[in-house]
């Protein structure tokens, strides 16, 4: 449904964990992103569609100050008539200014996702070094906050939506990484260690 044929090379990008049930063909996949929720919405509803899909996801990541093997993702999907990439950019700019302040700087980098075309990744200026370069941003001055793009026509067709009549955009962001940026936390692992001294700062 998400334009990932079984032999699609993009499947190699989605490292994940598997739980083997013992029955051939019935392995359970711990999801690597929340995009399957968008598909279910498109199958169950007719456009126009506006939905936010939060959820827990799992990836076989090298654990570091910026990456963890379990995290929370939030995806958005908007389908209507004459939706454009300009609408997507305006939405992301509005979110970023409300979340990180009106002085936030963004950049959109071309990227590839099988379920969107065109696709982009969105970066914000590093909150620790102000764009000068540090260990958290890997000396680049930028931190990725989300992937986004226009919903691929194949995905629309797979869900019974005519891409000649409707268009839409989708975006997905790691909630945990956004928390790091918002509260200037320098290590994502702190969010998962259940240290009360850390949690009590946020009303826990």
State mean pLDDT over 112-133: 88
pTM of this structure: 0.82
Percent share of the chain, pLDDT over 70: 88
Residue 79 lies in a domain: yes
Q: What is the pLDDT of residues 139-186, one digit of tens each?
A: 888 988 899 999 999 999 999 999 999 999 999 998 888 888 788 888
What pLDDT does residue 204 have? 52
Residue 76 lies in a domain: yes
Which CATH number characterizes residue 156's domain? 3.30.930.10
Percent share of the chain, pLDDT over 90: 44
What pLDDT does residue 181 have? 79
Residue 44 lies in a domain: yes
Mean pLDDT of the chain: 86
Q: Over 68-106, what HEC string results?
A: CCEEEEEEEEEEECCCCHHHHHHHHHHHHHHHHCCCCCE
Residue 2 lies in a domain: no
Residue 16 lies in a domain: yes
What pLDDT does residue 9 have? 58
Q: What is the pLDDT of residues 86-115, one digit of tens each?
A: 999 999 999 999 988 888 899 999 999 889
**CA distances (Å), origin 126, targets 38, 89, 132, 142, 167:** 30, 20, 8, 5, 33
- How many structural domains are present in the chain? 1
Residue 3 lies in a domain: no
Give the residue numbers spanning the domain of 184: 9-202
What pLDDT does residue 192 have? 87
Q: Over the chain, what HEC string results?
A: CCCCCCCCHHHHHCCCCEECCCCCCCCEECCCCCHHHHHHHHHHCCCCEEEEEEEEEECCCCCCCCCCCEEEEEEEEEEECCCCHHHHHHHHHHHHHHHHCCCCCEEEEEEEECCEEEEEEEEEECCCCCCCCCCCCCCCCEEEEEEEEEECHHHHHHCCCCCCCCEEEEEEEEHHHHHHHHHCCCCHHHHHCCCHHHHHHHCC
């Amino acid at each position: 449904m998400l334009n990932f044929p079984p032999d699609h090379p993009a499947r190699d990008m989605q490292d994940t964990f598997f739980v083997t049930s013992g029955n051939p063909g019935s392995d359970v996949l711990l999801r690597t992103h929340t995009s399957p929720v968008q598909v279910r919405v498109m199958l169950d509803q007719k456009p126009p569609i506006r939905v936010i899909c939060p959820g827990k996801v799992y990836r076989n990541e090298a654990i570091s100050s910026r990456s963890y093997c379990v995290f929370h993702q939030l995806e958005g999907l908007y389908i209507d008539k004459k939706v454009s990439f300009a609408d997507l950019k305006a939405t992301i700019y509005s979110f970023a200014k409300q979340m990180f302040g009106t002085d936030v700087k963004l950049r959109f980098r071309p990227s590839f996702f099988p379920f969107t075309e065109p696709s982009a990744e969105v970066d914000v200026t590093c909150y620790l070094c102000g764009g000068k370069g540090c260990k958290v941003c890997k000396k680049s001055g930028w931190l990725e906050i989300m992937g986004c793009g226009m919903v691929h026509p194949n995905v629309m067709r797979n869900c019974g939506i005519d891409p000649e009549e409707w268009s839409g955009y989708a975006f997905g962001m790691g909630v945990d990484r956004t928390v790091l940026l918002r509260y200037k936390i320098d290590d994502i692992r702190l969010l998962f260690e259940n240290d009360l001294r850390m949690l009590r700062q946020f009303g826990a």
